[in-house]
Structure 1
Amino acid sequence: MKTSTINELEATSTDGSKLRVTLEPPTRTSWRNWPVAALLTALVVAHIVAFQQTEFSLTGLVDGSGGMVRFLSEALPPNLNWEQVLWPGIQASGITLWIGLLGTTLSIPTSGILAVWASRTTSPHPIVYQLSRSILSFFRAVPDIVFALIFVTAVGLGPFAGVLALICHNTGVMGKLWAEAIEDIDPGPSQALSTVGANRNQIVANATIPQVSASMLGLLLYRFDVNVRSSLVLGLVGAGGIGLLINQSIKSFQFDAMLTHILIVLVMVIAVDLFSSAIRKRLAA
């Protein structure tokens, strides 16, 4: 075979006949770039509308810098009075920690059951699968602070409402994460047990859970870390904990006490984060 021109190839077949092939230059298909251009244009327009609707303004931030300076001047130094601020803040932070703990652990049974039913590999029926997915989506879609407002009206102010709110929201989030982890396991052990006559519950208990237990525990620790932070916000709507003290300090213009409570929260969150990270590293090792 030899090349006659850049766009032509000439070849000789086995019977001696010659075959000439003309290569057409590639044509530019500029129309293929339209989806990308349309997407970029839509993003630009969406950001312009978002800036307008949210009244985002760097000028307003600069103009309000004086108020921020006055706020910081009133907050510094933090109020370290032991009896009136520091000790009540430590006690309230403990309540916040317990809200996050119970909101995580008490959601394990419902999350586990719904995760098994919401996984394609372990769900007993398509209707059960869709129903479980819908329940998880509902619990996940409603923010925990909305659940807290609902339960505050039902059971009154206090940490109990915060625990109930976290149980509901965490069931939706953790159930979804666990269901996806179950769907990613190796189907080999489950198929082997099914071949020897094991029922669905035996397959889940002896093949599914052992494969996914480490991943599920890691996700559980991650959710505990998140729930401790969420329980702080729930206190702002009356669900108890140190968030309630922060809210009271802001309303009474005691910004130095507010800063003390925020520093206590910072220490608590760092401690929880270090604890969760250490456990997850041990699991991964």
Structure 2
Amino acid sequence: MITVDRLPVPPKPKRPKAVLFGWLIAAAVVAAHVIAWDATDVSFGALVEGWEGMADFLGEAIPPDLSWKVLGPSLSGALVTLWIGLLGTALSIPLSLLPALAAAKGTAPSAWVYQASRAVLSFLRAVPDVVFALIFVTAVGLGPFPGVLALVCHNVGVMGKLWAEALEDADPGPPQALRSAGAGRIQVAVHALFPSVLPQLAGLLMYRFDVNVRSSLVLGLVGAGGIGFLINQSIKLFKFDEMLTHILVVVVLVVAVDRLSATVRARLSREETR
């Protein structure tokens, strides 16, 4: 019996240009980190030297003040923070639908509408919600209302983009079938497109609700109400034990909202796979 020895397959030669390009990318990444390190004044030595200040801060904050005089307003502020996140999410739903349809390639009526919608969503997404809050605080005054308006503006940009991408990734079969039957754009969107991506849209909405509740906490630091305002007030008055109480309430609120959002998204995922 004749045996045939298998020769090893020679390795594919690497192209010199590809290797050089890889080294250039690696060098650029390293250089960017070196510049960022220097520009941000990162110094672990300064962190170690400041341990006494941190120890004094923690010593004044612990134990937290759990008296009802502090805990009552803290719980009330946490509810206001929750309502800001809820309304900021809910009110942005109808305002996000039309830009999402116009920013999706399969539903945009024309190329210029597609580009214009993408530009508007990019602008709303690029401006931080804190900046929107500062603008609305100067317009309508302090309180939760400017926080709601700020979340609506920023959330429309984020959610509109996420929904547009979900619409673009939808199964093209049902929409094409309706178009071939003579259905218009609105009929295709309502009867074929939205039903096929509804679980994804709802999951993204719940994710944004989770994020918006946490964002509304930061908005309170600039005068938009809620428990963030109480935290800022406690810091300015050097009442760090009260500050810690507010932070603990925030932790409970964020964990509860996170668990609710995760449960709803998991339920939607199971319904989608059936």
Q: Which of the five TM-score ranges fits, normalised by the shorter chain?
A: over 0.9
Alignment of 1:220-235 (within 5 A): 220-235=205-220
In 2, the alpha carbon distance for the partners of 1:138 and 1:119 equals: 17
The alpha-carbon distance between structure 1 residues 196 and 264, as it changes in their structure 2 partners (threshold 3 A), is same
The alpha-carbon distance between structure 1 residues 193 and 258, as it changes in their structure 2 partners (threshold 3 A), is same
How far did 1:40 drift?
1.1
> Partner of 2:66 in structure 1?
80
The alpha-carbon distance between structure 1 residues 195 and 52, as it changes in their structure 2 partners (threshold 3 A), is same
Which region of structure 1 is more displaced relative to structure 2, 273-282 or 88-97?
273-282
The alpha-carbon distance between structure 1 residues 187 and 69, as it changes in their structure 2 partners (threshold 3 A), is same
How far did 1:126 drift?
1.1
In 2, the alpha carbon distance for the partners of 1:196 and 1:27 equals: 54
Alignment of 1:269-280 (within 5 A): 269-280=254-265
> Partner of 1:241 in structure 2?
226
Pairing partner for 2:52 from 52, 63, 66: 66
Structure 2 length normalisation: TM-score? 0.93
Structure 1 length normalisation: TM-score? 0.90
1:36 aligns to 2:22 (yes or no): yes
The alpha-carbon distance between structure 1 residues 32 and 168, as it changes in their structure 2 partners (threshold 3 A), is same
The alpha-carbon distance between structure 1 residues 73 and 125, as it changes in their structure 2 partners (threshold 3 A), is same
1:284 aligns to 2:269 (yes or no): yes
* Counterpart residue identity of residue 208, structure 1: L
The alpha-carbon distance between structure 1 residues 81 and 119, as it changes in their structure 2 partners (threshold 3 A), is same
> Partner of 1:205 in structure 2?
190
Give RMSD over aligned pairs: 1.6
Instruction: Please list the CA deviations of residues 255-282 of structure 1 after superposition, one character each: whole Å capped at 9, or x if unmatched.
Output: 0000000000000001101111111111
Which structure shows the bigger proportion of residues in strand conformation?
A: 1
Alignment of 1:1-285 (within 5 A): 29-83=15-69, 85-285=70-270
The alpha-carbon distance between structure 1 residues 33 and 88, as it changes in their structure 2 partners (threshold 3 A), is same
Runs of 5+ unmatched residues, structure 2: none
The alpha-carbon distance between structure 1 residues 27 and 182, as it changes in their structure 2 partners (threshold 3 A), is closer
Which region of structure 1 is more displaced relative to structure 2, 274-283 or 174-183?
274-283
Instruction: Please list the CA deviations of residues 38-85 of structure 1 after superposition, one character each: whole Å capped at 9, or x if unmatched.
Output: 1111111111111111100000100111111110000000001102x1
Higher relative contact order (CA 8 A, sep 6+): 2
Larger Rg: 1
